[in-house]
Amino acid sequence: MLDDIILGQYVPGDSFLHRLDPRTKMILSALLAVLVFVVHTWTGYALYFAFTAALAAVGRIPPRYLARGMRPMVFFGVITFLFQLVFVREGRAVLDLWILTVTDRGVVEGFFMCFRLLLVVLVVLLFTLTTSAVELAEAVDRLLRPLRRVGVNSYDVGLVLSGAIRFVPTLLEQADKVKKAQMARGVVFEQGNLIERGRKVTAILVPLLLNVVRRADELGMAMEARCYQGGVGRTSRMQLRTGARDWVAAAVSVAWGVMLVWAGL
Amino acid sequence: MTAAVPEPRPLSRQVPAEGIRLRGVFHTYGRGTPHEVTALRGVDLDIAPGQFVAVVGHNGSGKSTVAKHLNVLLQPTEGDVWVDGLNTRDPAARMAIRRRVGMVFQNPDNQIVGITVEHDVAFGLENLGLPVEVIEQRIDEALRLLGIEHLRHEPPHRLSAGQKQRLAIAGVVAMRPRYMVLDEATALLDPAGRAEVLDCIVRLNREEGLGVVWITHFMEEAVHADQVVVMEGGQVVMAGTPRQVFQQAEEIRRLRLDVPLVTRIAAGLRERGLPVPADAVFLEEVVQSVCRSASGD
């Protein structure tokens, strides 16, 4: 299961998508994510999916890898679908089961909500798979820089993001160690009902949390020792450059979005 | 070098323009709380530029607390610490001191910030606000000095523990400090990783003139030092060259520390009547003197 989480797992490459300015990618991804909630027809979703598939091809992301990344989301997709089935009351009833009434509108809405969820995740995946954590941090820093005037340290926000990504493997390793240590002391994680299992998880979470706090403390000290002062007077090694490529990407995406909306799809 | 006899306090008014000087340093954690612990009780210490100083002592002797005073991670509760004439109490001098004194901690995982090796080395350099060209040059240099150029684009979690610790050192070396404090930097490493890291540091000290403060509880690692400082109960109890210190085997054992194996062997051989120098710390010198006496007979 954990191996399936590919969010934040950058796939190195030098495709058109990889070489885009991360700021452009971030803004366009956000726009695309909004657009998914505007689309409301089958054709619209088909076109939207075709566009993201084209993006994946341009970014040279293997479809199978993407599919694997989407796998953990299927569960949420199904839940969303069922929710719509139960709670949408408009439309013609197609199924009457005791207190449950499923309407035709409910079925359609169920599919649409499910598509929306999956497509948003797909867009986010395409962004993170083609953007390294360093670029991501830099983009966040630059995009949030105007907020410095109201006291937001944009550099810190970027650093927290890239730091989180940096520590994911370290913490997974740590969680595994704690789990094995608890197993060695007789905890059987695969046994018991849901409540018992939940209680056993705390045997992992508590030591893990303590460890994270200690780590954070030491990391903070090591950063201070390396003259960290919260981005003040700091140079950035990464130079972000917006070029013709970015304008092309923006023009294509915006034109395509406007078309979808204008055609009422 | 003479065994350090602590100078009387009034002399400490004289601050050397170079080197690190601690005078009458006390440090109490959690002062005014029920958990108050006094970790340092009047530490006097001098470290000359380019010197390799090993600070040894068992857990709780105060050696890590001393380390944290050297680059202003901690302030003395009483007494003073000067680095190249700058007092650590002066807030304006804090950054200047941190640029001079680099610090490497025990757990490499908790000091690596960067997503890849090169980004981590860049972190400190970016904090210093250096121009990009200089940063690139310094990254190349530091990776080369620590022998990890080939790992340049690797994420830190793919490195071995020894490589991670060398990366942590590269991140500090790139900032070109005058002194480097390594707080039990080899404690979590296997013997191969330990040798790897110690070799790098000895080389940086000999070839680049980097001042080193090596904090450890492995006495074997202290034999490379110019000066060994033994701590106990928050005080410096012994100081001198490795030969001077390890000769006092009784005293060291009383402090619940180990004399290096070579020194112990040398003492054993002497007891059996072989002409081995009492202050031997390197295996070669013991072997040579034994051979000489054997061929002499």
Please, what is the average pLDDT of chain B? 87
Distance from CA of A265 to the nearest CA of B (A): 42
* Contact between B175 and A226 using a beta-carbon 8 Å cutoff: yes
Specify the pLDDT at position B31.
85
Q: Does the pLDDT at position B65 exceed 50?
A: yes
Closest CA to B164 of B221, B205, B107, B216: B107
Specify the pLDDT at position B124.
93
Minimum Cα–Cα distance from B137: chain A residue: A237
Say whether B206 sits in a helix, a strand or coil.
helix
* Contact between B172 and A226 using a beta-carbon 8 Å cutoff: yes
- Cα distances (Å, whole numbers) of residue A114 to A37, A49, A82, A121, B187: 11, 13, 9, 11, 52
Facing residue for B98 by CB, picked from A134, A163, A227 = A227
Residues of chain B above pLDDT 70, percent: 95
Chain B hits for A159, CB-CB cut-off 8 Å, are: 113
Chain A hits for B68, CB-CB cut-off 8 Å, are: 221
Q: Which of residues 117-156 of A touch B (CB under 8 A)?
A: 132-134
Chain B hits for A239, CB-CB cut-off 8 Å, are: 132
- Order of strands, edge to edge, in the sheet holding B52-56? B101-104, B179-183, B211-216, B52-56, B227-232, B235-240
Chain A hits for B94, CB-CB cut-off 8 Å, are: none
Query: What is the average per-residue pLDDT within B78-84?
Result: 93
Contact at 8 Å (CB) between B239 and B251? Answer: no
Cα gap A163→A192, rounded to integer Å: 36
More confident residue, B162 or A198: B162
Query: What is the average per-residue pLDDT within B104-125?
Result: 91
Query: What is the average per-residue pLDDT within A232-242?
Result: 82
Q: Is B159 on the interface with A (CB under 8 A)?
A: no
Least confident of A88-92, A158-162, A249-253: A88-92
Distance from CA of B292 to the nearest CA of A (A): 50
* Contact between B110 and A234 using a beta-carbon 8 Å cutoff: no
Facing residue for B129 by CB, picked from A173, A234, A239 = A234
Chain B hits for A163, CB-CB cut-off 8 Å, are: 113
Q: Classify strands B20-29 and B78-83 as parallel, antiparallel or unpaired.
A: antiparallel
Ordered by where they begin, the domains of chain B are 9-242 (3.40.50.300)
Q: Does the pLDDT at position A94 exceed 60?
A: yes
Contact at 8 Å (CB) between A252 and A32? Answer: no
Which tens digit of pLDDT belongs to each residue from B255-295?
888 888 888 888 888 888 888 887 777 888 888 888 888 77
Q: Which residue has the tokens 């120098």?
A: B277
Which tens digit of pLDDT belongs to each residue from B164-193?
999 999 999 999 999 999 999 888 888 888
Q: Which of residues 169-198 of B touch A (CB under 8 A)?
A: 171-172, 175
**Phi, psi angle pair for B107, to nearest 5°:** -100, 110
Chain B hits for A235, CB-CB cut-off 8 Å, are: 126, 129-132, 135
Closest CA to B31 of B76, B61, B91, B80: B76
Q: Is A237 on the interface with B (CB under 8 A)?
A: yes
Cα gap A117→A121, rounded to integer Å: 6
Chain A hits for B168, CB-CB cut-off 8 Å, are: 222
Q: Does the pLDDT at position A108 exceed 90?
A: no
The token duo for B36 is 């108050």
* Contact between B110 and A237 using a beta-carbon 8 Å cutoff: no
Query: What is the average per-residue pLDDT within A171-193?
Result: 85
* Contact between A239 and B132 using a beta-carbon 8 Å cutoff: yes
Q: Is A176 on the interface with B (CB under 8 A)?
A: no
Cα gap A100→A86, rounded to integer Å: 7
Distance from CA of B78 to the nearest CA of A (A): 22
Label residue B10 by pLDDT band (50, 70, 90).
very low
Whole-complex ipTM: 0.81
Q: Is B4 on the interface with A (CB under 8 A)?
A: no
Distance from CA of B167 to the nearest CA of A (A): 13
Q: How far apart are the first and last CA of chain B?
A: 35
Cα gap B166→A132, rounded to integer Å: 24
Q: Classify strands B179-183 and B235-240 as parallel, antiparallel or unpaired.
A: unpaired
* Contact between A234 and B172 using a beta-carbon 8 Å cutoff: no
Chain A hits for B99, CB-CB cut-off 8 Å, are: 227
Which tens digit of pLDDT belongs to each residue from B227-247?
999 999 999 999 999 888 888
Q: How many CB pairs under 8 A join A and B?
A: 86
Cα gap B164→B215, rounded to integer Å: 18
Specify the pLDDT at position B240.
92
Residues of chain A above pLDDT 70, percent: 97
Distance from CA of B278 to the nearest CA of A (A): 41
* Contact between A169 and B71 using a beta-carbon 8 Å cutoff: no
The token duo for B148 is 């990890």
Cα gap B43→B218, rounded to integer Å: 21
Report which DSSP code applies to A155: H
